[in-house]
Structure 1
Amino acid sequence: MPYDDDLRLAHVLADAVERITMARFRAHDLVVESKPDLTLVSDADKAAEEMVRFQLKRTRPRDAVEGEEFETTGHGPRRWVIDPIDGTHNFVRGVPAWATLISLVDNDMPVLGLVAAPALGRRWWAANGSGAWSGRSLAAAKRIHVSAVSNLADASLSYSSLKGWRQVDRHAEFLELTDACWRTRAFGDFWSYMLVAEGAVDIAAEPELAVHDMAALVPIVTEAGGRFTSLAGKDGPWGGNAVATNGVLHDEVLSRLGTEARA
């Protein structure tokens, strides 16, 4: 497949990041700062992204690199999008639900995604046309697929927090959706979407996200047979928010949370 070499590189990068992040996870001398948007950043976030940028400059010098902590470098149709630690608030509090997100965007399409959650002992990945997989390595992997649940009353929904929905004035719509579902849990961040890809959860949604939060998730969800859009129904990670489902439920979820729900 056209992105096999890039996928192997993504795993190598994730291995290297894991050595940095796991060494700093629950470290007593972890340095944590507050960014202008009041989110947190640790010395592990910065060190991990710097390492990835260094390796990409060496192995993919023609590709652009976009990350959470530093400015975008380079130009061209191929762009690596990196979130060194998705779930930094969990990381700094010692909660093991955090992950490194690595994505390749080619001509404005996320074509490769890898999510590595070393504290959970889990890794997920996908490349266009190659299916979605979970395991510890390319050699030890199991193909994953979304669920076949077709009724909201039988569906499980995961989210990050209620506060975000209140801030974007969609609190009522979101609560109505949760009431319509069989089960709701706040697994949060990357994990909600990986559970959708695995078929353990049927719906995941968040009202405010950046591209680096979403780019790696898109290929994994879609290659697993699901759908990933903005609240307004735009495919991909470009809408500033996210709805991911098993595909069967997507239109109904959008009708409750998307543009139509605001009319």
Structure 2
Amino acid sequence: MPAHTDDLRLAHILADDADSITMDRYKSLDLHVATKPDLTPVSESDEKVEDVMRKTLARARPRDAFVGEEQGTTGWGVRRWVVDPIDGTKNYIRGVPVWATLISLMIEDQVVVGVVSAPAIGRRWWASYGDGAWTGRALMSAQPCRVSDVNNLSDASMSYSSLKGWKQRDRLDDFMGLMDDCWRTRAYGDFWSYMLVAEGAVDIAAEPELNLYDMAALAIIVTEAGGRFTSLDGKDGPTGGNALATNGRLHDEVLARIGDK
């Protein structure tokens, strides 16, 4: 797999633009929010970020496809940019600072670049295939990310988003049993859970229902940090419709507890 230095730099430029847009309207009293057909909210910032990214990539990478949460897929080919303009829109519109823009580049089914930018908490994470995972304010002032060495559930910290999805999958009892056996559980939620796994602050993160744009950037950052990212049926990568991320050492045991059987 070739190096993707230029693509990673472009992803950071996209993230810089997104940060400017989202922070400009964050906590604005006149922020426009609509309800999508699936009853989830979408803000004017979600739509503007995606629109700006599409225009930038149409100039910089005209042959690449684009997959976005708000406007779907345009273009075709083996290279596709996968974007969630604001992961955590409900937090964004309520003034909770835990939200981020997720940007990734996939070649076929392999994520090769991922950037997660959370400007309200002053954090950014990124990775490119084979070059490790990093966090910092800029490419030139970064620290490496590494998952933890925890190998016992009784010592493990687990993060999740909510319990509702596990109940809908009729797996709530299994999930609650796993929570009971872990040392610590907290609902950090959304992208934050997975970045904490990549940093080694959390050992397990899982969600029962997600889309590709929710996961692609997270997956490469976790795996390049030395962890493992699969669907609940054990398929590596972000294409399975749900997610389990761990430090790798705990993965098989957790998958046996809450994975698809």
Q: Shorter-chain TM-score: which interval?
A: over 0.9
- Aligned residue for 2:181? 180
The C-alpha deviation readout for 1:182-238, integer Å capped at 9, x for no partner, is: 000000000000000000000000000000000000110000000000011011111
Partner Cα distance (1:129, 1:236) in 2: 15
The corresponding residue for 2:153 is 152
Residue correspondences, number: 260
| Partner-residue secondary structure (3-state), 1:22 | helix
Tell me which residue corresponds to 1:50: 51
TM-score by length of 1: 0.98
Mapping 1:123-142, distance limit 5 Å = 123-142=124-143
Letter in 2 for 1:55: T
Which amino acid is 2:100 matched to? A
Say what the alpha-carbon RMSD is for the aligned residues. Answer: 0.7
Residue identity matched to 1:202: D
Q: Counterpart in 1 of 2:11? A: 10
1: CA distance between counterparts of 2:156 and 2:82? Answer: 31
AA aligned opposite 1:162: L
Q: Aligned to 1:197, what secondary structure does the other structure show? A: helix
CA deviation after TM superposition for structure 1 residue 87, in Å: 0.2
Q: Amino acid of the residue matched to residue 54 of structure 1?
A: K
Unaligned 5+ segments in structure 2 are none
How many Å apart are 1:149 and its aligned residue?
A: 0.0
CA distance in 2, matches of 1:186, 1:145: 21
**SS where residue 73 of structure 2 aligns?**
coil
User: How much does 1:104 deviate?
Assistant: 0.2
**Would you identify which runs of 4 or more consecutive aligned residues in structure 1 move more than 2 Å?**
none
Whether 1:68 aligns to 2:69 is yes
Residue 241 (structure 2) aligns with: 240
Give 1:85's aligned amino acid. I
Q: Which residue of 2 aligns with 1:162?
A: 163
Deviations 1:109-136 (A, max 9, x none): 1111100000010000000011000000
**3-state SS of 2:37 partner:** coil
Aligned equivalents of 2:34, 2:169: Cα separation in 1: 26
TM-score if structure 2 supplies the norm length?
A: 0.99
Q: Partner amino acid for 2:200?
A: G
Q: Equivalences for 1:102-117 in 2 at 5 Å? A: 102-117=103-118
